[in-house]
Structure 1
Amino acid sequence: MNGDWLLRGRDGRLSVYQLSGDAVLCRAELGAGGPWSAPRKVGGEQRLHPVLAVGQGADGYAHLASWRPTVKGEAGLVHSTHFRPHLAALDWHPIGHPNRTGDRTGTPAVAVDAQGRAHVFVPNRGGGVSMVMQKEKGGWDPWRDLKGREVRDGLAAVAGESGRVELYAAVSQGLLYWRQEKPGAQPVLQEALEAPVRQGTLRALATSPESTTVFYTDTSGGLCAWRPGGEPVTVLPAAGPGPVSAVRCDLDGHDCTLLVQRSENRRVAFAAYPTERESAGAWWTESGPELPLDALVSLTTDETGRVVAATASPSTGNLLLTRRKDEPGLALEAWRQI
């Protein structure tokens, strides 16, 4: 899974996306605050490889990308749009291959610009990154090679508050950063950071009108934050393996960034700090029951602005959810299975 798979739709209802064998399943609130629907297959009967990338635009629409098997030993990327969580998503639509033909080249990443156009990024066989973008009035532009060298799997794509799309990629010696100069333009490689980045730990978040922040774990186990043009900052030791999920939220009248990660103790760990003020410090607080080894975690806010966290296990299919209580601090309701 790449991206946040717990989303709030434009109608205020929450939805989750889960991999299940050769399919993607969606569950959604039947009304704000629940109850929840039974799992439904996304995108028709197309068989998929067990990989999913999710992105969401300012319009609340979810865009999903995955690989599908084509002929023996080869695969192609597909895309679906989900306009309302409680309605059926569009069928999977083929969008090609970064090298025209061949097997999977890596995990895709999706970002959606201010015009509602999905941008799908994926590593290519040349060691760089390729992108395909939706046209504003339907269809897709040709694949574009964004270059780069020794790009590792686990891209992080994000739309800034301006709506322009940005991309981060881990390489053997650090991070690469691409940004659109104007809407609809091809993202351009802007900066390369030398840093000991652990593969598969990137997560990007829009944190101000001018900036996005990428979070990653370094090889010594520190959870770091970097905004292009500056230096990376170690926020706190990583709670556990894998990327964090991150959301901006109001905590007692303060603009905060909330991080969540599965801890080494296999529980959900939360940490918060004033947005873009990493020097203020942060610390982890664990919550909930012990989780399976493959459990994923994700964050969003509901239609009232309350933080919502979810954890899902592909092996068990279990989905747990909690909300912030309506009281000062980051007190959470009891975790419940949905």
Structure 2
Amino acid sequence: MVWNRNSITAMLGIKYPVFQAPMAGGMTTPQLISEVSNCGGLGNMGAGYMSPEEIREDIKQIRKLTDRPFGVNLFVPDLDVSANADDISSMGNVLERFSSELGMEEKPSLPEKDYAALYRKQLVVLMEERVPVCSFTFGIPDSAIISELKKQGTIIIGTATNVKEAVEWEEAGADIIVVQGSEAGGHRGTFHRVESGMIGSMALIPQVADAVSCPVAAAGGIMDSRGIAAAMMLGAAGAQLGTAFLTCRESGAHSLYKQALLNAREDQTDVTKAFSGKPARGIRNRFMDEMKGRQALPYPLQNDMTAPIRKQAAKLERPEFMSLWAGQGVGMAEEVTVKELMIKLVKGTEALLDK
């Protein structure tokens, strides 16, 4: 088989079916995204927490650095999220001992944010800028949004963590579906019951590939060419890597975060709701351990309450209070440039599959 000539490469106009995961929180710099695209893959912006102005500016920067396709990822907001005042106050009390230890004077509180309004404004920018690829996590956008994006030629990528979600995404009009196995670092893309989104990649990829007719890209624990080749043998037409790109020199990950990734073992990650209220896999640390068993506020409320603590922890170089998202393949992380990583991935996958 010629691994890099398939439905995904043809649809996206890229050389290799290798995606850099759209990791939110400043990880995906224009330099990282553009270099992945320049090397023949698909660079992706994790824009979930970015303001419309920041998204537009980064798109302009990316276009200065590459003329190749790239993607932008948004979080589909849950409009029914709420918490009562007692629960919010109680969580503030729990988090206060961490903020006090970090020398923060104000007790953790919940800022007022309109996520639905932010999402609408983010979408306006993507449509005005006519981005080549738009991916979505945590849900499926309204059909009118998908229709409008497709009308202007944007490729739509959905995120699924089980067969039902993948089928719903295909019915909604997804061109490609990223299938996220439970090994993946960061937030689970699940938008059904939490428990339904914890299936391992080896079991999930072939079942989704059999259930949908659109191409599937595998995500979760893939760090090298062996992972890409295995995913493609299981029925995927491409692979998405996150943790592997976080330790690249072009990534925006904090130096402490990069060191934690480079020093971590495969048995040191865990899935937690402590930081954000949504299940996410990261390197176990003191914050995760001490928050175990406590009921987190729903996402994104918990995320908003812990954000100042995580920011202060990074400033003071206290990784025990930072969210160190990482997949189960973290033990294979290397300090490299994007170009070095892409060359290894491409040559290795060719050696395994082009026979």
Write 1 or 2 for the structure with the bigger share of strand. 1
TM-score normalised per structure 2: 0.28
TM-score after normalising by structure 1: 0.29
Q: Which has the higher contact order (CA 8 A, sep 6+)?
A: 2
